[in-house]
Amino acid sequence: MAHLFLVKDIAFQAGLSTATVDRVLNGRPGVRRQTEMRVKAAIAELEKQQAGAMGSGRVLAIDIVMETPQRFSDAVRAAFEAEMATFLPGVFRCRFHFAEVMKPTELVQLLDRIRLRGTHGIVLKAPDVAEVAAAVARADAAGIPVVTLVTDLPNSARIAYAGADNRAAGETAAYLIGEFLGSDGSKVLVTLSSGRFRGEEEREIGFRRVIRARYPDIGITEISEGHGTDAATGTLTAAALAADPAINAVYSIGGGNRAVLAAFDAAKRPVRVFVAHDLDADNRALLGARRIGFVLHHDLRTDARSAFRAIMSRATALPRAVSPSLSTVEIVTPYNMPEGD
């Protein structure tokens, strides 16, 4: 397996031991196919980063850890890779750790492994639970800055939050749905991936507040713990529709929108208005096909830039830490949808 990189650099990028990488590179037996693919992917990632890093500035290696559906992690990866090039001659090397579902113990173990291996910073999308906050505290005590992404851990030792104002986003969704439905006694299905995420909780709080204050005739039914995956979210949606014939609108906080719509189709139920979050590939297609009406979007590249700057301010010991500003929530329709990256 031809390459131009040190074994330790490949191991760092792949999240493997140097001994395992050495076995893969030298074609020794006893290596799983999945491990071999991780090494190949790490080399490809290093080659891509090197191609864009023509300057001679300092290299900062950071780890991006997310529990999130793949459609969103794909969008985050693209945003971070695009923003890396804007920091030349300084170079960020990103190592991605994505999983659609992780137990808190698995997430904590991953954070602790990263801390012990060494990194210049961690960008984290994780549930707001005590054991994760404790792992963030251990990283901070070791001199590793942690920036939360999209969903915050406000009671942790993280140095900054990069993302949108989630409560304002929920309030915006309530306004769109309320103005559309009026006072005819409609009911909105609110879908969360999990109640453990602070960002989703903030969206729901904002949504409920405005509906209660301005549109009291609109009812709300909530489903949660589908983790944004199609199978689980579709099952939860189908059960909610079977239990309540009044549901005719959707505020999708947690994703799985194809499955939500499929459940409505299977039940032969109309969706009067559908508000979703994030311009991932699924939502672009659904918006273009007029299956959903509005997408509340914020620029992930802005979030990536904020995270990079916060980590850089700690790594370079600037006298004043960078405080990222919240990214702007945009209302996207089929008529103002920006081109994909």
Q: What does 52-104 look like in DSSP terms, one character per residue?
A: H--S---EEEEEEEEES-HHHHHHHHHHHHHHHGGGTTSEEEEEEEEES---H
Class of domain 59-161+300-325: alpha beta
Same fold, 59-161+300-325 and 166-297: yes
* Cα(123)–Cα(314) distance, integer angstroms: 13
Kindly tell me if the per-residue pLDDT of 219 is higher than 80. Answer: yes
Q: Which of 110-114, 286-290, 319-323 has the lowest mean pLDDT?
A: 319-323
> What average pLDDT does this structure show over 18-40?
87
* Cα(297)–Cα(279) distance, integer angstroms: 6
The residue ranges of every structural domain in the chain are 7-54, 59-161+300-325, 166-297
DSSP assigned state of 327: B
- Neighbouring residues of 21: CB distance < 8 A, sequence distance ≥ 6: 7, 10, 11, 14, 39
More confident residue, 52 or 115: 115
pLDDT for 55: 47
What are the Cα distances from residue 84, in Å, to 59, 128, 285, 302, 306?
11, 28, 27, 12, 12
Phi, psi of 333 (to 5 degrees): -120, 175
Strand order of the β-sheet with 219-223 is: 219-223, 187-191, 247-252, 273-277, 294-297, 330-332
* Cα(69)–Cα(101) distance, integer angstroms: 8
Kindly report the pTM of this predicted structure. 0.79
**112: number of Cβ within 10 Å:** 14
3-state secondary structure of 142: coil
Per-residue model confidence as pLDDT tens digits over 134-189: 999 999 999 999 999 999 999 999 999 999 999 999 999 999 999 999 888 799 99
* Cα(140)–Cα(145) distance, integer angstroms: 6
3-state secondary structure of 266: helix
Considering just the CA atoms, what is the radius of gyration of the chain in Å? 21
Question: With respect to CATH, is domain 7-54 assigned 1.10.260?
Answer: yes
* DSSP of 172-206: HHHHHHHHHHTTS--EEEEE-S-TT-HHHHHHHHH
Class of domain 166-297: alpha beta
Kindly tell me if the per-residue pLDDT of 341 is higher than 80. Answer: no
**In the predicted model, what is the mean pLDDT of the chain?**
89
Amino acid occupying residue 225: E
> What average pLDDT does this structure show over 288-303?
94
Q: Is 159 exposed, middle or buried (0-12, 13-18, 19+ CB in 10 A)?
A: buried
